[in-house]
Homo-oligomer: A and B are copies of this chain.
Amino acid sequence: MNIGDVATASGLPAKTIRYYEDVGLIAPRRGANGYRRFDQTDLHRLAFLGRARSLGFSIEECRELMALYGDKHRASSDVKQIARGHLARIDAKLDELRQMRAALADLVEACAGDDRPDCPILADLADTTTATARAGG
B51 and A113 contact, CB distance less than 8 A: no
A83 and B108 contact, CB distance less than 8 A: yes
> Which residues of chain B are within 8 angstroms of A47 by Cβ–Cβ distance?
126, 128
Give A residues with C-beta under 8 Å from B: 44, 47-48, 50-52, 54-56, 65, 68-69, 71-77, 79-81, 83-84, 86-87, 90-91, 93-94, 97-98, 100-101, 103-105, 107-108, 111-119, 121-122, 124-128, 131-132
B84 and A108 contact, CB distance less than 8 A: yes
| Residue in B closest to A53 when the chains form the complex, CB atoms | B132
> Which residues of chain B are within 8 angstroms of A107 by Cβ–Cβ distance?
83
| Cβ-neighbour of A87 out of B76, B101, B117, B124 (below 8 A) | B101
> Which residues of chain B are within 8 angstroms of A125 by Cβ–Cβ distance?
48, 51-52, 55, 65, 69
With A90-B100, A107-B83 as known contacts, state yes or no: A76 contacts B132, CB within 8 Å.
Answer: no
Q: 7 tightest CB-CB pairs across the interface, nearest first?
A: A80-B113, A76-B119, A75-B115, A77-B113, A80-B111, A51-B132, A79-B119
B108 and A80 contact, CB distance less than 8 A: yes
> Which residues of chain B are within 8 angstroms of A69 by Cβ–Cβ distance?
122, 125-126
With A69-B126, A104-B87, A108-B83 as known contacts, state yes or no: A115 contacts B44, CB within 8 Å.
Answer: no
